[in-house]
Structure 1
């Protein structure tokens, strides 16, 4: 009996040696090999002991029982699951680690088939593997499958399968093996695989340039975006250095940061690379060291294409410093350059000139011909200024029709004069826009450093004052600044500020100049004229404040006030019983161009109760000749209201008789410039007579203004002029004085008696 047991033990150890020979070489650790050996030996011993326990004596049984417990303890101490099955796969022996892996209590696990814990596919593969092991007698290791635990959770396992024989060379009785839980390892492998996939996806599909560079500066890897951004294929770039993509300046910049990256320091910077087709691509580059085992082994370059961003940035910057219409530098850039020029002029001990200019009557042209025409005109002026200024000078648009010129180096003041004269000559040349010819003039003011100021603000202010002085004197000329202009500019500014408050303070008053009918001698109308009754300056002439009102835009509300006040006064005279007559109100170009002018006039008539036929609106000849279609349409609407229309200052413009024939007007007013010398100048007499004759042929009435002498009166009467106004009849009078005249007019039969009483 002892001999038989010994033989069985020897057989067990021979099997153990065999297991070590075929052990877990492919994919199983040395630890697992050791465990496999121990468990296999333990299994054989346990099996031998269990099969032969009844053969021993009581003393021997105790001994072997103790050994069995040791082996059982050994099996339970390891973390991997040990199992033995019969040939059908039913579990006959297993340790507690297997219980944990399969997730079923030990008493319920015995005799269960191991395939119950697998998917159908894995069970099929296990059966095939068992058949192969049974047929060949060769052990199999590293068999992997997924355990489906009793609670439905899953674990990835890896195991070995060894055939159990009844004796050496005997029939197979079952299978034994080890199952290791490799769930964590599988999860790690899956996470690593997913991480690698994500990295590859990030690398391949990243819209930014991503490449790795060796210590020698050669490309080692690159993504498709690198090819797209540079225009070179990977084959063309691999093994080449980054330096051939860069210009000299960019190479030095890149080299500086590349050296830092090789030292382990990340850097971010902008650089320009040259595309394969020759144009530059702006990149925001970040160089990141590649560190493995605490050693820098290369450099990652990540580059974002910021070409469009840079272009947009440059566009925005250009817009911030340039005028959108003319593309000239704007006020901001001009002041910066002027300030810089002053520093250089001080260092170089030379002079500097600032020139201010604007276009005479530009607002009138802009309002008459439209803003599109005005914009084209300003662009043309900007081009002509460029032709007059050397490359060292600078032209800027301040806004509207105002331009400034900087001459940073003035050695001889005659060069400033020559420049101003060339500008005036260039601007005076006729301008043809969309088939329409236009002529403009300019007024220029000049200040010099250091004579007229030492800072940008002072020089600009003084040049502006000189420009206004040029405009006041004669226009179409230039003026150098002198200190007197500064006082005048200050006063002008003060007047402009007070003008804004004058309406609210009720400082405007109307005076009325009678209009006399030649044949009847009766007052047939009055012209309303505005005056400014300033609390400190006294009565201010329209010549002083009307141009300012036009420049500041106050002319529109002032004109509306004049129209309302005149209509209200005329209605008051009629209500007082005086004979009905016209009140003439002059419409400025700015009022006439208001889109709601017809509606506004109608509202005032409704408000004051004056009938339309007793209101006469005077427009200047120059207004009537600009944008004739608009003028005719507007005049037609006013005429349909029943309002009288007259052309003021007739003869001073360039009237087209064809237009004049189409205008719905009632009378022409001969300008006083012709009446003044009507008896002394044959030319003026002929013009006046021609206007009267032409008006009669067009069935229009004629009124002459500025009649101051009896000879003028007699001449106009002899030529058939219908009406007149002027100091020969009466100067402009306040409403109260006109009331007295109307009373006299009411009881006087002839104009001759009226003049004697005057």
Structure 2
């Protein structure tokens, strides 16, 4: 055996390396390859041995290999030779090859797959070329400046208008070339764009050029991008300027201009964006009123608002359900503005159209997800309550309103042993069977993990309700075939009918739920009707209410704090205050058991005040430890937020605690914000101006209009743990989370994901550009004393690592 062969077999680097190693003779024939070579190209050594490189290298690249072999013959190594090869499956790869002549006249070759990088480079080059082509072809002048005011690029139109070539100006400052611009509006606006990081638009006469220019400047971290055009001729006629300036400002949207002096407001101009948006050519719409975009389902209230604005000669904004020429629907956000002449008479109306179909679709998906179970598509608890309210109001004389609470028997063992995927598929089949069995006129909702509710709004008598329950038991007991598994489950059904006045329609569900537990105690696969004695549990609510008042009076509550982590640095940036109640007799009472009760009784007000005051005091104490300034996040209850003196009381608490306003973050749910939409903007705006941080809690679990949310002065959204739990395995949860993150980033809001329990969840969300995290994966909620120890430990660890 040759020495080289022996080394090849025993060298672990050759065997274990992920790079492609090969030994070839001087003619380019393969002698030996490593395992990575075999795995990547799919060829065994027996296939390659004795074959020439031409067996793998595409014909066009073989001359390159010939040149490389010639270099090796001259004892010169080959470095970074790029060739294309074809694997055994017919796929083409780009390889970067390095080779050298070794002992025994052998050539040692190391190759690495650069196909992905090559394609990325090609795509980058293609995009760059398209960008330059686009910039060169636009009719506006365009140039860029770096942060030192030096020219870095001019397109051909800019060269024409500025009377200088790029080769003359590149690297030269704007003010060296055009010194007369100093002290003018150009300098003021450009500096404002730089200093305030805002885009600026203005029209002014440039003294160096003797031209009137319309300028739009956009700042970035690299400098300033400036679009400009010569409007000198347009300035010659004031009327033309007045009509065209607003059209140009909205040129990226559809723009139409109508004649206000004629009764039917005929269109006299439509821009190309309008043609792209609607499919109608300008020639087709000239002389017509815009009504041709409407359809039978266009909201008459919106069209009435348009007519009122035209009649009163006022601005307005509406969203219209419009139709393109081909009949497809689009949501049109229409802004209408009147154009006045020198005598104050309206001569024209300008309509700016913006296609918000994507936004409306997203809002509808959010609304659907807020009211429906994402797995089964059935209504969730929120929509169930609406259905019950409607059924309560619509119940005819002599008819019963029946509610069936269906709980699956034996579902948990199936879910635990066969996995969540099988469990989810089983639930989907159960939902289909329930919906079919319930039939038209009745509704089915998913109430919990394996709980469903059937609402029968117009039953003739109790017999019909009983018959439906028996039919559901029978249909659910039939075998299920899922992925070669034959599964069997049964159900326990509790039944309640409306026989008296109800404080809330959901009381019927509660009664049916109590009856269902009785059915389970009967041995499953059973039906049990609600009896009055089952309502005795309601007395526990009265008892809990009394105990809750004692807890308020004697301050039995304690706050625990859960750290919030900045993902990129893994530093603690703040905490969320979470209330805990240790009852002297009941023991630990979950917030879920008393917060809702407090909301319904008004006891939430003193509880919320205590939480807010205590959290502010503890936050100030933590921030005096010398380990940084931490933000304290506190949940604000709906009743607390809607109080008349909420803002005044909050500011007094801050002043008393000494906590800086910017270190307090108020968390409000979407529901609170939407219910208070009439005045929430004013209140939140005032708090924001005072320096307080505002966040939307449990984002995605409620329904909020994005058109309203975008006006809220909030700086953070918290993604509810309900979307985090199965984010790794459930693509629907993952899609919702990605959408929320993208929306928040577009609105320049920070995103915090709560309920992080695994590193996999943390890693996935980090890849999706989520910045802040909270959950058991990092730390559990802890009392103040333990939190201080926790922060000291973290601080020592970071100092030890030099952080």
Flag whether TM exceeds 0.5 (same fold). no
Question: Shorter-chain-normalised TM-score: which range?
Answer: 0.3 to 0.5
Q: TM-score, normalised by structure 1?
A: 0.39
Q: TM-score, normalised by structure 2?
A: 0.37
Structure with larger Rg: 1
